[in-house]
Structure 1
C-alpha cells in the first residue's frame, strides 16, 4: 500500500465512511459539536488534498455557476478551496448521456456529517436496488455542491461526494437540534449518490 492510499484509508476511518447500501438509523442527539466549524473546514481541506493527489479515482470540481467565468485585466478571478467539491468515483456508468442544467434526474442518495451521522437518505430501511425508489428533482433543485456533482455525472455513475459548508447549507442550522435530520451550521457534507436516470426539459419524469 503506497503512502497516498494509506492517507486515504486513515482519513476514511476518521470520516466513518459507509457504503451506499447502509445508513445509520440512530436518532440520538449528537452533542459533540465543539469547534464544529474548525473541524469541518479541516475535514474538507484534508479531503480536497487527497482528491488532488489521487486524480485516477477522484475529481475536483469547481462550483457549477463559476465554470466558464472570465476575468478582465484589472480583476483576476481567484477561487478558494471552498469553491470546489471533491468526488471519489465508486463506479462509472456505461451510458454516455451527461447531465445538463435544465435536466431533471432520479437518484439514490444518502447524506452524512463528518462524524458519520446520516441526516437524510432517499430510501427507508435497508437499501435494496429492487425495492428502493429513487428521488426525483430538477438538477438545480439541490444544494450547490450536489448540483455541481450531478452536472459532471453520467447515468449509472456512483460517486462519494464531499461538499464544503459554503456549497451546502452555509452558516445556518438546518432542522431541529436533537433530531436525526439536524445539520449544524458550517457542516461539511458527504453524499453517496447513484444517478439512476436523466430527463431532458419537456420529457416526462418517471420512476420504475
Structure 2
C-alpha cells in the first residue's frame, strides 16, 4: 500500500511541475500594451463621425465610420458568405493584413467565421459600403492574440485593438 502511495505522490508532483512550466506557444504581452490599446479605443469614441454598434455576443461594441455608402440594399446575415476588400492595421498604423482593390480580387469568407467585431459590422453593411472599423480586443483576438500563419505575416499580440477599412464587394451566398 505504501508503494502505491509513493507512486501516486510522484505522479502528482510530476503533474504539478508540468502544469507550472511555461507554455512556449503562448503569446505574452506586458500590461502597458493592453492599456495603450484600450486607451486608443476609448479615445476613438470621441472622434468625429464614429458611431457605436453593440456586438452580437453582447461582449461590447465596435466603433465605425461610414467612408462610402454603397448602392446595395440586400441584408447580410450571420450565415452569409461575402467577398470584401479590407486592410487591417494596429493602433500604430502597422498593416497586418491586406486585400485591397489595388492588390486584386476581394477575399471570400463566411460572416460567421470571422472575429466578432467583423461579424457585427458586416450584418449592418450592404454591398458597396466602405467603413472604418475599430474593434476592441475582446471582439478581436482577445487575450490569446493570433500568431503569424505564414512568412511575411504579423503576429497580433494579445489585447490588441484592431482597425479595419472594410468594403463589401459581393454577397456570394445568403
Aligned mate of 2:41, from 44, 54, 60:
44
Structure with bigger strand share is 2
Q: Which runs of 5+ in 2 are unaligned?
A: 1-29
Structure 2 CA distance, aligned partners of 1:90 and 1:194? 9
Structure 2 CA distance, aligned partners of 1:185 and 1:65? 19
Using structure 1 for the length normalisation, give the TM-score. Answer: 0.64
Name the larger-Rg structure.
Answer: 2
Aligned mate of 2:115, from 133, 143, 146:
143
Corresponding residue number in structure 1 for 2:6: none
Superposed counterparts of 1:49-64, under 5 Å: 49-50=46-47, 54=48, 57-64=49-56
Q: Which runs of 5+ in 1 are unaligned?
A: 1-32, 67-81, 202-208
Superposed counterparts of 1:86-101, under 5 Å: 86-101=63-78
1:196 aligns with 2:173: no
Q: CA deviation at 1:84?
A: 0.3
User: 2:85–2:166: 8 Å Cα contact kept in structure 1?
Assistant: yes
Structure 1 CA distance, aligned partners of 2:51 and 2:126? 14
The count of aligned residue pairs is 144
Q: CA deviation at 1:179?
A: 5.8
Corresponding residue number in structure 1 for 2:156: 183
Q: Cα RMSD between the aligned structures?
A: 2.2
Structure with bigger helix share is 2
Q: Which runs of 4+ in 1 moved over 2 A?
A: none
User: 2:45–2:51: 8 Å Cα contact kept in structure 1?
Assistant: no
Using structure 2 for the length normalisation, give the TM-score. Answer: 0.75
Q: CA deviation at 1:91?
A: 0.3
1:170 aligns with 2:167: no
Structure 2 CA distance, aligned partners of 1:166 and 1:49? 20
